[in-house]
Amino acid sequence: MIQAIGLTSAPQRNRFPAVDDLTFEARPGRVTVLLGDHGAGKTSALRLLLRLDPGRGVALFRGRPLDRVPHPTREIGVVLGDVPGHPARSARGHLRMLSAAAGVPAERADDVLEVVGLTGLAGQHLGDFSLGMDRRLGIAAALLGDPHTLVLDEPAHDLSPRETAWLHGMLRAYADHGGAVLVTSQDPKEAARIADRVVTIDDGRLVADQEAAEFSRTRLRPRVAVQSPLAARLAHALTSEADLAEAAEGLQAVEVVQEGGSRLSVYGSTCAAVGETAYRHGILIHRLTEEIGDSGPVPPLLRADGRRADAAAPPPGTAPPEAAADTSADPCTDAQGGSSPTGEAESPGRPGPVVRSAHAGTPGTAVPPELAVELPRVHPRLPAPDPAWPLRYELRRATGVRTGWLVAAAALAASLLVSILLARAGSAPAPRVLTGWPALLPLPPAVFGAGLIGAMAFGQEFRYPALAPDQGTVPRRLGLLAAKLAVSAVAAVLLALASLFLDAGVLGLLFGDEVVSLPRDWAVLLAGWAALTLGCAWAGLLAAGLFRSAALGLVAVLAVPTLVVPVLGSVLAEPAARSLVGLPERLRAAAVVQWPSGMDRGVSTALRLVSQPVGWALALSLTALLGAYVLAVFRGRPR
């Protein structure tokens, strides 16, 4: 259940709030439609509800505010706008990545793909999806965590009638089995077709909060739908009799609209009056029914992957479709004793959930058998709610597309090419030859590639925001930041070592071993090389997370050698009255637990690296970026 009390957007200069004191409820087992024209404040209301935008008011989900919900994606499924995701990622890979963020097994991705009819397209890239497939994938992502509530922002916008029929049936089936559904719409006819309750807003204010039947009676124009092989003759007869009756008795005007072919829509009349007119004129009628708005049945598109609905194999352990048709479980309920969308405990022996899609002309009416959609039953088998798995999420995000691999390959190739050119010229010192770092470049290719990989770790999050909307398991949390730092650190160090060994091996093969001879302090140089690569990767990552752009993250990486290092170099060039000589010995003497004597050399090496202008520049830049990022996280809640 959703309760919104007094939602009000944060005030903006010289503008009225997008949402002003909005109060409504979305109860379990019902479809609630938030209706309004474009710009009425529907999307802003949902963003306030999900605490994505600043504002006032109270939003409760089953009696708890969102920040008190321990695992939001396990309780609330959200689709706002188009499905975000990298276009080169497959549908299955995208959902498996999100399953790690939700803390559910990766096998859940295949279950929800089966529910939405995309199993045959699981390996297809998101960039190749049509709009209907994209919306189905959005529903699948919302169902990953087995939620009790669905919140969707105009999910049927620009969809074909058949895809819209499938979507409406899916939402109706979800609500019929106990889930709470909140949907926004601009179309009153669509609201009347699928809603149990319609909340109408305008300019961010509540206009009406009505049951669907009352809304249809007061807001939509009733009509009589007629189908006859003599439609033109019947239309002429109805118009003639209506004109005579209006002239003689002053009755309400009757409007007859020919829909094309054998169909008519008669406004301002009744089934009885139309039937009597057809009887008097000897006109055969095939269909005669009263409707509210244009809500005629449309056969839904059952599956988007082209498979037959009856050919889709249910998961192991499920009953056949005949038995599934009589069950009444929710599509997103735990079949092994989990909680239902209404909060009631289920017995372990209860049959697994089934989704039956329906398309009804009037809310609450029965669905014709030819329009019923039977979707495969799914046993979620979800474990008890656990915290999200950020490290698993980041690994799947980083390895799910080829961009990072291509960047690493290009960096290695460029580093090798520059190393060969420097060795052939013979004028550069050995460390610069091995690392492929000519004096005219601010950074060597491998370090630049590591910085780009770090910048993409957050830059792609904002360009293709897989975890948007931010509702609790969000990438702006420090847990995911730590995972990104760890994965980018491993990638940077591996790239640094790979470039070094690749350059050394190829140079030794081409020019002999004397070219790759290392100085006596090779350990310090190796540590400095790895630290430089790691620091630039982290600088790109933090800057991209702070400025929400991979390009600006890369600019921050380049700013370290071009701007920060010269400034610090001039400062550190001034003579100092005191130095840090002897610091390792003093630290060892002051420590409670004495470390091995070999660590002194490591501390000395670290101090030598940090004392260099590049080391100071990286340390200061990382400290400033990390502080700014953490400040932005805490300042931006709720987003």
CATH code of residue 42: 3.40.50.300
Is there a cis peptide before residue 638, judged by omega within 30 degrees of 0? yes
What pLDDT, on a 0 to 100 scale, did the predictor assign at position 446? Answer: 93
Q: Domain boundary at 292, 318, 341, which?
A: 292
Question: Higher model confidence: residue 306 or residue 571?
Answer: 306
d(CA 626, CA 483): 14
Residue 498: inside a domain: yes
Question: Higher model confidence: residue 515 or residue 98?
Answer: 98
d(CA 345, CA 299): 36
What pLDDT, on a 0 to 100 scale, did the predictor assign at position 352? Answer: 35
- Checking if the pLDDT of 635 tops 80, the result is no
Residues 347 and 494 in one domain: no
Q: Which of 90-104, 393-407, 562-576 has the lowest mean pLDDT?
A: 562-576
State how far Cα 574 lies from the chain centre.
52
Structure tokens at 555: 């600019």
Residues 573 and 596 in one domain: yes
d(CA 140, CA 248): 60
What pLDDT, on a 0 to 100 scale, did the predictor assign at position 353? Answer: 36
Residues 37 and 174 in one domain: yes
Mean pLDDT of 455-471: 75
What pLDDT, on a 0 to 100 scale, did the predictor assign at position 348? Answer: 31
- Checking if the pLDDT of 363 tops 60, the result is no
Q: Domain boundary at 257, 274, 292, which?
A: 292
Mean pLDDT of 635-639: 52
Mean pLDDT of 457-463: 82
- Checking if the pLDDT of 288 tops 70, the result is yes
CB 79 within 8 A of CB 141: yes
Residue 495: inside a domain: yes
Closest CA to 320 of 284, 354, 371: 354
β-pair partners for 206: 201
Residue 13: inside a domain: no
567: pLDDT confidence band, cut at 50, 70 and 90?
A: low
428: pLDDT confidence band, cut at 50, 70 and 90?
A: confident
Residue-level length of the chain? 639
**Residue type at 462 in one-letter notation:** F
d(CA 513, CA 70): 60
For 390-485, where are the E strands, in sequence order? none
**291 φ, ψ (degrees, to nearest 5):** -130, 160
CB 356 within 8 A of CB 369: no
Residues 517 and 413 in one domain: yes
Measured from the Cβ of residue 53, the count of other Cβ atoms closer than 10 Å reads: 18
Mean pLDDT of 630-636: 71
- Checking if the pLDDT of 359 tops 60, the result is no
Residue 433: inside a domain: yes
Structure tokens at 414: 């460029």
d(CA 397, CA 388): 14
Residues 160 and 233 in one domain: no
Measured from the Cβ of residue 482, the count of other Cβ atoms closer than 10 Å reads: 13
What pLDDT, on a 0 to 100 scale, did the predictor assign at position 355? Answer: 39
Q: Domain boundary at 274, 292, 310, which?
A: 292
Mean pLDDT of 88-117: 90
- Residue 200 parent element (H or E): strand 197-202
d(CA 93, CA 80): 21
Task: Please name the residue that has the structure tokens 């909307």.
Answer: 469
Residues 465 and 517 in one domain: yes
What pLDDT, on a 0 to 100 scale, did the predictor assign at position 293? Answer: 60
What pLDDT, on a 0 to 100 scale, did the predictor assign at position 70? Answer: 80
- Checking if the pLDDT of 372 tops 70, the result is no
Question: Higher model confidence: residue 268 or residue 352?
Answer: 268
CB 411 within 8 A of CB 387: no
Long-range contacts, 338-346 (Cβ 8 Å, 24+)? 338/146, 338/380, 338/382, 339/148, 340/148, 340/178, 341/28, 341/147, 341/148, 341/149, 341/177, 341/178, 341/179, 341/180, 342/28, 342/29, 342/148, 342/178, 343/62, 343/148
Task: Please name the residue that has the structure tokens 């039956």.
Answer: 356
Residues 468 and 555 in one domain: yes
- Checking if the pLDDT of 632 tops 80, the result is no
d(CA 153, CA 151): 7
Residues 83 and 140 in one domain: yes
Mean pLDDT of the chain: 78
639: pLDDT confidence band, cut at 50, 70 and 90?
A: very low
Mean pLDDT of 9-26: 87
Measured from the Cβ of residue 308, the count of other Cβ atoms closer than 10 Å reads: 8
Indicate the burial class of 356 (C-beta count within 10 angstroms; 0-12, 13-18, 19 or more): buried
d(CA 196, CA 208): 14
Measured from the Cβ of residue 362, the count of other Cβ atoms closer than 10 Å reads: 16
Residues of the chain above pLDDT 90, percent = 31
Q: Which residues contact 65 (CB under 8 A, 6 or more apart)?
A: 58, 59
Single pTM value for the model = 0.74
Q: Which of 366-375, 562-571, 575-584 has the lowest mean pLDDT?
A: 366-375
Distance (Å) of CA 628 to CA 544, 546, 622, 632: 12, 7, 10, 6
The per-residue pLDDT for range 138-174, each reduced to its tens digit, is 999 999 888 899 999 999 988 888 899 899 989 988 9
- Checking if the pLDDT of 431 tops 90, the result is no
Structurally, the chain folds into a number of domains equal to 3
What pLDDT, on a 0 to 100 scale, did the predictor assign at position 593? Answer: 55
Residue 9: inside a domain: no
Q: Which of 3-12, 99-108, 275-284, 337-346 has the lowest mean pLDDT?
A: 337-346
CB 33 within 8 A of CB 363: no
Closest CA to 44 of 52, 404, 141, 403: 52
Residues 378 and 344 in one domain: yes
Q: Which of 110-119, 381-390, 621-630 has the lowest mean pLDDT?
A: 381-390
Residues 575 and 459 in one domain: yes
**184 φ, ψ (degrees, to nearest 5):** -100, 155
Q: Which of 359-373, 386-400, 403-417 has the lowest mean pLDDT?
A: 359-373
Indicate the burial class of 590 (C-beta count within 10 angstroms; 0-12, 13-18, 19 or more): exposed
Q: Which of 231-235, 266-270, 462-466, 561-565 has the lowest mean pLDDT?
A: 561-565
What pLDDT, on a 0 to 100 scale, did the predictor assign at position 310? Answer: 54
- Checking if the pLDDT of 380 tops 90, the result is no
Question: Higher model confidence: residue 249 or residue 452?
Answer: 452
d(CA 172, CA 166): 10
Closest CA to 76 of 393, 634, 470: 470
Distance (Å) of CA 31 to CA 27, 43, 321, 335, 447: 8, 17, 26, 23, 54
Distance (Å) of CA 275 to CA 253, 286, 287: 17, 11, 10
571: pLDDT confidence band, cut at 50, 70 and 90?
A: low
Residues 166 and 274 in one domain: no
Residues 493 and 560 in one domain: yes
Question: Higher model confidence: residue 614 or residue 2?
Answer: 2
CB 302 within 8 A of CB 358: no
Residue 11: inside a domain: no
What pLDDT, on a 0 to 100 scale, did the predictor assign at position 252? Answer: 64
Residue 4: inside a domain: no
185: pLDDT confidence band, cut at 50, 70 and 90?
A: very high
**Residue type at 572 in one-letter notation:** L
- Checking if the pLDDT of 512 tops 90, the result is no
- Checking if the pLDDT of 322 tops 90, the result is no
d(CA 552, CA 307): 45
Question: Which domain covers residue 100, as residue numbers?
Answer: 28-47+71-203+212-220+298-354+363-383
d(CA 75, CA 385): 10
Residue 2: inside a domain: no
What pLDDT, on a 0 to 100 scale, did the predictor assign at position 319? Answer: 37
Question: Higher model confidence: residue 354 or residue 268?
Answer: 268
- Checking if the pLDDT of 510 tops 80, the result is yes
CB 440 within 8 A of CB 457: no
CB 225 within 8 A of CB 289: yes
What pLDDT, on a 0 to 100 scale, did the predictor assign at position 589? Answer: 59
594, 599, 601, 605 alpha-carbon torsion, rounded to 10°:
-120
- Checking if the pLDDT of 484 tops 70, the result is yes
User: What CATH number does the domain containing 231 carry?
Assistant: 3.30.70.100
